[in-house]
């Protein structure tokens, strides 16, 4: 009864904020900025009250969960990408499992985080978010691009909570130094600066190798590595050769790992070939084997 009373009180407070934002006022009495601020405050209060803006230790992250199932699919986006980057995959997965997407600190509707940002800090935020939002394991972790580094690190630190992983054209921790070696000095400095934190998330990706090494190996769980194969790929290009090598190595991180080539897809496989991502999640989550009609299996 007390919990219900508290919930009603919270929603009542939100209602008062919304009504105050909607209440008529004399023409010219409120500047547009004040009106916009009222709407933002009301929306934020509503998101907090409904559990979609969650405190992870002094700042809040925006999270959305849909669907039902025995496992929860948790999606980690690429650099500077919000939860919207997953497109129709979220709805497709929600038809057979629970799925949660969120905005990392400083992106979308989430607050800016504090302190230095590294993949390890991203994992700390995600772990706190899942506990605070009562998102219970086991998890199938899905990571796109640099999100692949984060889900690998999460799995290594919290193996008991992870059912399996799907890496969607994921980054490899060695790619930064390998790609830098192929550049001239001026481009190399700019590239390493960007990957070292001079990006929109202030995320130091060069710290990833150290953090992954400290965390140890992946748990013995199913792993599918989805690798894009766009029409414009130049097979003889040095950076393409490095990328091909590193993608194959990702699939060998687990004894149960395998690589799937997503034909006719760019880096955002979830947008170009969403069915490939959905079927990989089905397989790793134990729903049923992935369709071979939508993708081509690569070397293990």
The CATH number assigned to the domain holding 273 equals 3.40.50.1820
Domain holding 170, by residue range, is 57-297
Residue 116 pLDDT: 87
CB of 145 within 8 A of CB of 267?
Answer: yes
287 shares a domain with 149:
yes
Is the same domain home to 196 and 221?
A: yes
Kindly state whether residues 96 and 156 are assigned to the same domain. yes
Residues 215 and 71 in one domain: yes
Give Cβ neighbours of residue 258 (< 8 Å, ≥ 6 apart): 223, 224, 225, 251, 297, 298, 300
Task: List the chain residues with pLDDT less than 70.
Answer: 1-39, 49-51, 231-236, 287-300
CA 264 to mean position of chain CA atoms: 23
64 and 207: one domain? yes
Report the pLDDT value the prediction gives residue 236, as an integer from 0 to 100: 55
Q: What is the DSSP string of 138-202?
A: PEEEEEETHHHHHHHHHHHH-GGGEEEEEEES---TTHHHHHHHTS-HHHHHHHHHHHTT-STT-
pTM (predicted TM-score): 0.82
Q: What pLDDT is stored for residue 51 in this prediction?
A: 61
Asked if 87 and 46 sit in the same domain, the reply is no
Do 123 and 96 touch, CB atoms closer than 8 A? no
- How many structural domains is the chain composed of? 2
The secondary structure of residue 290, as a DSSP letter, is P
**For 50-76, where are the alpha helices, taking DSSP H only?**
none
Residue 44's pLDDT is what? Answer: 77
Are 127 and 191 part of one and the same domain?
yes
The two tokens of residue 64 are 């959305």
Q: Which of 223, 277, 282, 270 is nearest to 250 (CA)?
A: 223
- The pLDDT of residue 50 is 65
Same domain? 62 vs 33 = no
Residue 38 confidence (pLDDT): 67
pLDDT of res. 22: 37
| Predicted local distance difference test score (pLDDT) of residue 33 | 52
Co-location of 38 and 69 in the same domain: no
- DSSP states along 72-137: EEEEE--TT--GGGGTTHHHHHHTTSEEEEEPPTTSTTSPPP-S-B-HHHHHHHHHHHHHHTT-PS
pLDDT for the residue 205: 97
Are 115 and 263 within one domain?
A: yes
Residue 84 is predicted with a pLDDT of: 97
- Spatial contact of 249 and 148, defined as CB atoms under 8 Å apart: no
Same domain, 214 and 264: yes
**291: which DSSP letter?**
P
Looking at residue 139, what is its pLDDT? 98
**Same domain, yes or no, for 16 and 84?**
no
Q: Is the dihedral of CA 169, 171, 172, 177 positive or negative?
A: positive
Q: How far apart are CA 218 and CA 250, in angstroms?
A: 11
Tell me the per-residue pLDDT of 90-131, one tens digit each, with 9 for 90 and over: 999 999 999 999 999 999 999 999 888 999 999 999 999 999
Q: How far apart are CA 131 and CA 128, in angstroms?
A: 5
Contact between residue 229 and residue 195 where contact means Cβ atoms under 8 Å apart = no
């Amino acid at each position: 009864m007390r919990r219900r009373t508290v919930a009603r009180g919270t929603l009542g407070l939100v209602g008062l904020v919304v009504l105050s934002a909607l209440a008529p006022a004399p023409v010219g009495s409120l500047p547009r900025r004040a009106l916009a601020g009222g709407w933002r405050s009301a929306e934020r209060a509503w998101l907090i009250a409904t559990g979609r803006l969650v405190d992870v230790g002094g700042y809040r992250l925006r999270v959305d969960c849909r669907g039902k199932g025995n496992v929860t699919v948790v999606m980690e986006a690429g650099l500077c990408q919000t939860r919207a980057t997953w497109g129709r995959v979220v709805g497709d997965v929600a038809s057979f499992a629970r799925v949660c997407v969120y905005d990392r600190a400083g992106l979308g509707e989430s607050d800016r985080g504090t302190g230095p940002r590294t993949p390890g800090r991203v994992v700390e935020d995600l772990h706190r978010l899942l506990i605070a939002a009562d998102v219970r394991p086991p998890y199938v972790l899905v990571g796109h691009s640099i999100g692949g580094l984060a889900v690998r690190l999460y799995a290594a630190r919290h193996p008991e909570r992870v059912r399996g992983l799907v890496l969607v054209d994921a980054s490899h921790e060695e790619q930064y130094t390998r790609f830098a070696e192929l550049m001239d000095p001026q481009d190399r400095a700019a590239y390493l600066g960007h990957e070292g934190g001079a990006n929109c998330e202030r995320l130091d990706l060069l710290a990833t190798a150290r953090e992954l090494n400290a965390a140890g190996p992946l748990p013995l769980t199913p792993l599918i590595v989805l690798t894009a194969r766009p029409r414009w790929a130049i097979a003889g290009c040095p950076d393409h050769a490095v990328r091909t090598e590193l993608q194959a190595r990702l699939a060998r991180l687990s004894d149960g790992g395998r690589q799937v080539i997503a034909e006719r897809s760019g880096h955002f496989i979830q947008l170009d070939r969403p069915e490939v991502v959905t079927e990989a999640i089905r397989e790793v989550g134990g729903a049923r084997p992935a369709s071979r009609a939508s993708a081509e299996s690569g070397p293990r």
